[in-house]
Structure 1
């Protein structure tokens, strides 16, 4: 949800170059939601689904943090500031996400060692 709101704010702002990152994160979140609903993780055993989700959260947190700082400091319009604030909230949400997923990834990797 935050990715879509941030995307809409960047569309309305004077910083349209930053709208790609929230759009991609929104689409990736929809893909992972779809994959979980269709239980693709059971069908495609060769992929490490928890690790892919972990890496998505880590990269999203870093990218959102960087573009939010840039949007807030470089652009002065209200939509850019709002996108930056929502980007900071998204950074926190993704950081919590990769912290919570870390336990699942550690369990998955321990199973591979046995």
Structure 2
């Protein structure tokens, strides 16, 4: 008979997914993914589909970072500084969404899907900017902890 007390890897992954989405960072990344998908649909339905590249790239990058942080691979793969990488991903996403969304909203007369994509893009730009702010606070607090924890024989001059 099969042993039913051990959990399968798929169930373990699902539990990690549920637990990570309940965290603040997990919720922000999940919201970025969903919002980017909605924007992608709006831009794909508009007459000008070229703006969908921003939504595709930001959705894929958010999915990658969601998977890395959810599976806690950031603690295992320490070659990359994941916090700074996530910071640059979020700030670039905020700027790109705000710029392309303003272009779409201003120049989208007669194309409702393009205007809707622009409005959702502005919301996504604000969400990415909020994500940038939370990452900035995390970087700042980690620097203060590193400066406060000096070892014996070292001098900390501020």
Q: Which residue of 1 aligns with 2:134?
A: 100
Please say if 1:78 is aligned against 2:112. Answer: yes
C-alpha distance in structure 2 between counterparts of 1:5 and 1:98, whole Å: 21
Q: What does residue 61 of structure 2 align with? A: 28
Contact 1:15–1:75 at 8 Å: present in 2 too? no
Q: Partners in 1 of 2:143 and 2:89 — Cα distance?
A: 17
Report the counterpart of residue 87 of structure 1 in structure 2: 121
Contact 1:57 1:94 in 2 (8 A): yes
The alignment's C-alpha RMSD in Å is: 1.6
After superposition, the Cα gap between the structure-2 partners of 1:112 and 1:46, relative to the gap in structure 1 and judged at 3 Å, is: farther
Cα shift at 1:83? 0.3
Q: How many residues align?
A: 114
Given the superposition, is the C-alpha separation of residues 100 and 33 from structure 1 closer, same or farther in structure 2, using an over 3 Å criterion? same
Unaligned residue ranges in structure 2 (runs of 5+): 1-33, 151-158
Q: CA deviation at 1:59?
A: 0.5
> C-alpha displacement at 1:46, in angstroms?
2.3
1:9 equivalent among 17, 37, 42: 42
Any gaps of 5 or more consecutive residues in structure 1? none
Q: TM-score, normalised by structure 1?
A: 0.91
- In the alignment, the residues of structure 2 paired with residue 42 and residue 30 of structure 1 have an alpha-carbon distance, to the nearest angstrom, of 18
